[in-house]
Chain A
Amino acid sequence: MELQPIYIQILALVLFTIGLITALARRNVFFVLMGVELALNAVNLSFVGFAKTLPAELSVAGQIVPLFSIAVAAAEACVGLALVILIFRNSESVDSDNYSNMKG
């Protein structure tokens, strides 16, 4: 069975949905973060998949943007984790529902 581009997109969609659901459903902040990462990477996958379908001179963009977003995602993960650690220090909890200090 040849790898059809649509399969890649389907996989990306599945991964994205999983990531989204994880981010929304889990209360543990780490899981939320992981979900976000997963969704992000699903998008990357989708980019790469589309790069395959496009003609060669245009496909470069599809390959470069994921590189960017991986770099950004790494930075984002750093900041996110640092934030989580700081919040944990303050509130002694990793439960995202406890973080309601910002409310008016």
Chain B
Amino acid sequence: MTNLPLWFIPLFPLLGTILLATIAVVSSGSKKGPSEGFVGALSVLFPVLSFLSVVLLAFGMPEEGVRQTLCNWIDIPMLKVDIGFLFDGLSRVMLLFVTGIGSLIALYSIGYMHGDRGFTRFFAYINLFLFSMVVLVLSDSLLLTFLGWEGVGLCSYLLIGFWNHDLNNCKAANKAFIVNRVGDIGFLLGMLCLATLGGSAILNYDALNKFIEMLIAGGHVDLAAPILMIAGLLFFVGCTGKSAQIPLLTWLPDAMAGPTPVSALIHAATMVTSGVYLLARLSRMFSVIPEALVIILIVGMLTAFWAAVAGLFQNDIKKVLAYSTISQLGYMFMAAGAFAFDASIFHVFTHAFFKAALFLGAGAVIHSLAGEQDMRRMGGLIKKTPITACVMIFSFLAIIGFPGFAGFWSKDLILERIYTNAPYGEFFYGAGLLTAVITAVYMGRLIIMTFFGEYRGSKESEEHIHEAPASMLIPMVVLAFGAVFAGYLWADSMGIKFFEHTLAPVVGDAQNYLLGKLDVVHVNPMTFACFGTAAAVLGMIIAYVVYGLKRQPRLHAKWGSAPEGFKADWTFFFDYIHEIFIIMTKVAAFVVDMIVDKILQGIQWTVGSIVEIVGDGVSSFQVRKVRVQLTLSLVGVVALVAVVLLTGGLF
């Protein structure tokens, strides 16, 4: 339908970044700063343009996708990589919601960041993030994906540490970047591992898929499996870093130090799901190493459960949402582990809507309470901010999987696939269901503590509570709409399978290959739906009983109002495990600095002083008088000449 070149999509946010960064730097000298309306319009314009081009492309996309190579990137012996783009079912879905939600959140941020000193800088970062994310999703090779991969990590770092006058924010940002770097090294080594198998050409997704097909066709799977296994696990390490899975999950709760729109966009809807995207992208490779998928399944289950439990104990509204994000990501990984890559992407899609809506709602609450984030100082806000409350409640119903809402369809699908596909499916299904109950409990707790009961903050702050401005409300309402209806793209029990068909060209082969190996148990989908609903309702009831009925949380006098930015309250022992590594590094650095280096310096100066002492000794032979020296040297010459003459040469 349209001949729009693919590089238009990343081009717009890139232009936006350059333009806004220029404005930010140029205007930094002036007191007033550039006009917020102008900057805001610019910063929404570029993501929207990008979104429009995605939409245009999406409608005209042929079944097998569009591939375009822009130019050569790296060309040296052993490594030839092109900058090429791949627009297929998977990247279409991802791009649609990345640019769409990105545009909405840019709009929201205009209201949220109103009056901030770094207004322009913020939008430059947001545009840079969208650029990186688009490149991540749209690229046709692993190396270019890695560009986006590190790029989003960098933007996440910049945005977490956005309010950089507070060192705690900086520390949280550093933590996020370094933990992500650990994962990125996994990604990097994974690429190297693949390259040893088939040269650098294999880094291209199409070539990789073809390579795997060839392996399968030629029956060489067993030969390549060990290396592919290592590569797969290394890529998975990369995914755990970016998607905050065990063991690299600790950075995400801390990342909540950033502005709330950032949390919504980066740390809930888009960036953290790139790990799931990568798994789906590499599904063909993972399909020949089912052992790795089992590991992914287990890690996903543990993370989902773990984070859900941790979510129960948070008091900071954003941290509850952060843990809930980790938990939902765990679900997605479980789905990928049960080789339901399409279901995992579907959950990414629905999750993007309701989690972004939840975060934006939380942002609106925080905005209306002038920066208060502690849920123990909230309550009863439904009367003051009804629209925000409605948005939050709809999204709440979506996340717990209440029938009819988006989360219901995707979560249900995942649980079903886990039951039918995974080894020991019953066990994993049970764990997933239990997690769903806990999800309903802690999300119920959040809603109850925030919107119901009595207001527990100070009296004077109560006066100022106000509904957010329209620029913030519109995106929230749109997202809430998505949270309700996005699930109907793949309502399995109603027979709508639009989403599955979109993704089939990308992940279908891999899934069929895996499914072909096992006999699927057929269970009536309605059974799963019933169980899922029961879990959600049970969770809500528990939440109501425990938090809603009587027990108002008591606020201890010495508790500060703002939760600490850097300290994660409840990451179980993962922070301590990380601490061990950090301490090991510190000890190594200490040993190197204070012992090895001192010893080396000691040797160095010892040699130096020995030379000096010897030199002093020799110089004492030096006679003070010039004339005597001259005489001595003459005598020396004469002696030398005499020796030469008498013996006929020294040698």
Contact = CB atoms under 8 A, between A and B. Distances in A.
**Chains A and B touch each other in the complex, with CB atoms below 8 Å apart:** yes
A25 B627 contact: yes
A100 B616 contact: no
Contact of A24 (B619, B624, B631): B631
Interface string B623-637: 011110011001000
A104 B626 contact: no
A24 B622 contact: no
Helix, strand, loop or mixed for chain A's interface? Answer: helix
Contact of B615 (A24, A96, A104): A104
Contact of B619 (A25, A99, A104): A104
A27 B627 contact: yes
Contacts of A104: 615-616, 619, 622
A54 B627 CA distance: 37
A60 B163 CA distance: 90
Interface in A61-96: 96
Given A103-B619, A104-B619, A23 B630 contact: yes
Task: Identify which of A20, A99, A100 gathers the most chain B CB atoms within 10 Å of its CB.
Answer: A100
A100 B625 contact: yes
A97 B616 contact: no
Interface in B584-629: 615-616, 619, 622, 624-627
A24 B627 contact: yes
A99 B626 contact: yes
B454 to A, nearest CB: 88
Contacts of B631: 24
Nearest to B625: A97
Contact of A97 (B615, B619, B626, B634): B626
Contacts of A24: 627, 630-631, 634
A103 B621 CA distance: 10
Contacts of A97: 624-627
Interface in B24-77: none
Interface in A1-47: 20, 23-25, 27, 32
Nearest to B626: A96
A26 B627 CA distance: 8
A42 to B, nearest CB: 15
A103 B620 CA distance: 9
A20 B627 CA distance: 11
A9 to B, nearest CB: 18
Which of B616, B624, B627 gathers most chain A CB within 10 Å? B627
Contact of B634 (A20, A100, A103): A20
Contacts of B622: 103-104
Interface centre among B624, B625, B626, B627 (most CB of A within 10 A): B626
B107 to A, nearest CB: 78
B620 to A, nearest CB: 9
Contacts of A32: 627
Nearest to B624: A100
B570 to A, nearest CB: 70
28 contacts: A20-B634, A23-B627, A23-B630, A24-B627, A24-B630, A24-B631, A24-B634, A25-B627, A27-B627, A32-B627, A96-B625, A96-B626, A96-B627, A97-B624, A97-B625, A97-B626, A97-B627, A99-B626, A100-B624, A100-B625, A100-B626, A103-B619, A103-B622, A103-B624, A104-B615, A104-B616, A104-B619, A104-B622
Interface of B: 615-616, 619, 622, 624-627, 630-631, 634
Interface of A: 20, 23-25, 27, 32, 96-97, 99-100, 103-104
